[in-house]
Amino acid sequence: MPRWDREPSPQLDSLTRTGRPNADEVVTFRDLRVDLARLLAWRGTRRLKLNPTALRILVYFIERPGRVHTRDLLLDILWPDKPEIGARTVDVNIRHLRRALNSDGEPDLIRTVYGFGYALDDDHGTGRGGTPF
């Protein structure tokens, strides 16, 4: 995917390149909270167990709630220097993120737009299905 389609994200870039985000920075969406300085995430009061890639996806989504992101865009953002990584890798990491977010039966905040990509939504729906329009 072309670089011009990538939105800059200082928080995500710091997680991706250096692993050292700005101190005291927290990103939130509804009951989700990510402490970028400590690389910890919570849903409500429950601490989430996320691998580094799922954490990066979550930060990217929190910064752009409601927007649908294609698998190709996520590949370009999360693995810009590894063209050998395929779209299924995104799906696997989204599945890991979903399991961590919804382990206590909370509403699924990740919406799948079949054949297109994923979004972090305000909707209390199932998070699966839907159309891009």
Over residues 31-46, the pLDDT tens digits come to 999 999 999 999 999 9
Mean pLDDT of the chain: 80
The whole-model pTM stands at 0.76
Cα 12 to the chain's mean position, in Å? 10
Is the per-residue pLDDT at 105 higher than 90?
A: no
Q: What percent of the chain has a predicted confidence (pLDDT) above 70?
A: 73
Statement: residue 131 has pLDDT above 80: no
Q: Which two tokens stand for residue 89?
A: 């890798």
Query: 């990103």: which residue's tokens?
Result: 27
Cβ-defined contacts of 105-114 (< 8 Å, 24+): 106/31, 106/43, 106/44, 109/29, 109/30, 109/32, 110/61, 111/68, 113/68
Tell me the domains of the chain and their CATH numbers. Answer: 3-120 (1.10.10.10)
Query: Residue 9 class from Cβ within 10 Å (0-12 exposed, 13-18 middle, 19+ buried)?
Result: middle
